């Protein structure tokens, strides 16, 4: 077993001074580390009846697509505003300075479908919360929200759990 946490690069002072950016791309670029990551998620959700995996742009696409493949489920991209070519529905969420929006195609999730929400990292939880609300607006039943990394000091997992959605992360980094 590989220590996956050791494969995550920490970039100090990015995107601004005082922030320790946890860069999962180094884990994704490590063949065995990437395989172990996906295999761990697939093993956790095998047999859970997941019908769709909703991946949050952009690293959630990489992880979510691979997890969906392993589960034999469909994949639904949750994209930034204006990036989907067909009719889309969206949910706005607050940022430190302003708002942003994620969208999905109309009809991507059917009412009652069991959905796994995936992203690489949960920090404050704003994007994950928007993903939960978006999936639920289509009638999807969120089984769990999963992440490679949790930054617990920022409270995102608790925020999502406050929406009555369980969260799972492979590991956490204290501090941010």
Return d(Cα 158, Cα 126) in angstroms, integer.
11
Q: Any idea which residue has 């956790």 for tokens?
A: 44
> Coil, strand, or helix at residue 131?
helix
Residues tagged active-site = 59, 96
Task: Enter the tokens of residue 73.
Answer: 């489920």
Q: What are phi and psi of 22, to 5 degrees?
A: -95, 105
HSE-CB for 170 with a 13 A CA cutoff: 27
- 77 - beta bridge partners? 55
């Amino acid at each position: 077993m590989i220590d996956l946490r050791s494969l995550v690069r920490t970039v100090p002072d990015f995107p601004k001074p005082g922030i320790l950016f946890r860069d999962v791309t180094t884990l994704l670029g490590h063949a065995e580390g990437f395989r172990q990551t996906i295999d761990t998620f697939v093993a956790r959700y095998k047999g859970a009846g997941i019908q769709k995996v909703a991946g949050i742009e952009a690293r959630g696409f990489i992880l979510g697509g691979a997890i969906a493949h392993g589960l034999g489920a469909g994949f639904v991209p949750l994209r930034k505003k204006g990036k989907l070519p067909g009719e889309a529905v969206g949910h706005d969420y607050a940022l430190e300075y302003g708002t942003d929006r994620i969208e999905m195609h109309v009809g991507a999730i059917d009412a009652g479908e069991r959905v796994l929400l995936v992203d690489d990292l949960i920090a404050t939880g704003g994007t994950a919360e928007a993903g939960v609300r978006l999936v639920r607006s289509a009638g999807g039943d969120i089984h769990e929200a999963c992440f490679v990394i949790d930054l617990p000091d920022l409270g995102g997992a608790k925020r999502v759990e406050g929406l009555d959605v369980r969260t799972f992360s492979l590991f956490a980094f204290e501090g941010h």
